[in-house]
Structure 1
């Protein structure tokens, strides 16, 4: 019974993986896009005495010092990897999925380190003006964290599931010199329909 159950589960895995293709792709792309946007926003808000807080904000500029550019950069890598993953095949596809998962993991780590660095920046700014105050996280910090985790989960799932995912047909590949065959068209005055059928079959009607 155990062997039969295991065999049935193994046989059902490709079907489950294929069904998860679209949700996984949407989660990977969506999570990376969210993290990329959130990483460019301030992740901590300056708090404390009004005058001191205003001075610190002026010292730090328009909030660029409190953003997480590394998160944005890594999230863009994940987005690019998913773009390639959707059109790649075979081992290349799994390799790109591994790259996406690694970049997403890096983005998650960068969220934590970026938040700590932003807090430290605010503390140092208060110390430089001899004032007391602090900071608290903005919603963008949590948005960045959710985006990084979502893209990581989707990319990690893709590493395992890519062999079972549907692939783009080879007819969309760029033609090579040795792979283009002569079109099998009627010898007498081919019609437009004949030309389109030949193109759809992968032949070159001009050969």
Structure 2
């Protein structure tokens, strides 16, 4: 991957992570707020009982999709290739599920049923006032999560992956130093007292540098000695 393409992929990756976190946080925040409030008219001389409906009661899917979106942040970081594409598809489903939950949860009949479930008072539900800001925030979070998932499914395989930098440099360094890694060769090197991680480009240490004695028993070296030259003395 060239420099500009790598920089673009890194920007897309960072933006997708941030968007996923923002969308999930918006869903979780909105689910914990009051979406509607009203009164339940109790029979008899008792005053009407106030009732409030939060997002988790009106649209249970919103909070669930928010927590799933937070898990998707970790999935984007830990995956690569087709696994990241699959994570993106799941994020699209999470965002779509959150949007569907907001749509059904803010309908009048759904809010009225949720209000009656949220109170122990029994009677007629009076006026129900909807706080549209929080459902709007939940819709925003679902849309952002869906968009981030679509980007991850489409472009995710080209994004950086966790540990890829270390794998790439470590593999290239090991290959350039020692060539293909063969377990049998490594064991043979250890048996001969050699360091399999040493850099051949720097040259191995001579026998004298390693503390070993020179080999004076080499017959080929004696044959190559000029005539009349004294033979090498062998150590006792």
Tell me the TM-score normalized by structure 2: 0.57
Retained in 2: the 8 A contact 1:33–1:75?
yes
Unpaired stretches in structure 2, ≥5 consecutive residues: 168-180, 187-194, 206-236
The residue number in structure 2 matching 1:134 is 128
Structure having the higher Rg: 2
1:31 aligned onto 2:44: no
Question: 1:95-120 CA distances to partner (integer Å, 9 max, x unpaired)?
Answer: 11111111111111111112222244
Give the Cα separation in 1 of the matches to 2:84 and 2:125: 54
CA shift for structure 1 position 160: 0.6
CA shift for structure 1 position 26: 0.4
Distance 1:91 1:65 in 2: 33
Aligned to 2:114: 121
| Aligned equivalents of 1:139, 1:19: Cα separation in 2 | 31
CA contact (8 A) 1:52 1:131 kept: no
CA distance in structure 2 between the aligned counterparts of 1:54 and 1:179, rounded to whole angstroms: 82
1:184 maps to which of 171, 183, 197: 197
CA 47–135 in structure 1, closer or farther in 2 if over 3 Å, else same: farther
Map 1:83-94 to 2 at 5 A.
83-94=74-85
Conserved 8 A contact 1:97-1:156: yes
Stretches of structure 1 that go unaligned for 5 or more consecutive residues are 1-11, 173-177, 189-207
Normalized against structure 1, the TM-score is what?
A: 0.64
User: Deviation of residue 88 (structure 1)?
Assistant: 0.9
Kindly indicate whether the alpha-carbon contact (under 8 Å) linking 2:20 and 2:72 is maintained by their aligned counterparts in 1.
no
Residues matched between the structures, number? 167
Determine the C-alpha separation between the residues in 2 that align with 1:131 and 1:45.
10
Alpha-carbon distance, 1:148 to partner: 1.0
Residue number in structure 1 paired with 2:151: 157
Counterpart CA distance in 2 for 1:41 and 1:68 is: 11
2: CA distance between counterparts of 1:53 and 1:112?
A: 32
Q: CA RMSD in A?
A: 3.8
Establish whether residue 166 from structure 1 lines up as the match of residue 160 from structure 2: yes
Structure ranking higher in strand proportion: 2
**Larger deviation, residues 116-125 vs 93-102:** 116-125
Q: Which residue of 1 aligns with 2:209?
A: none
The structure-2 alpha-carbon separation of the partners of 1:64 and 1:104, relative to structure 1 and needing over 3 Å to count, comes to: closer
Give the SS at the match of 1:168: coil
Contact 2:22 2:141 in 1 (8 A): yes
Distance in 2, Cα, partners of 1:21 & 1:107:
23
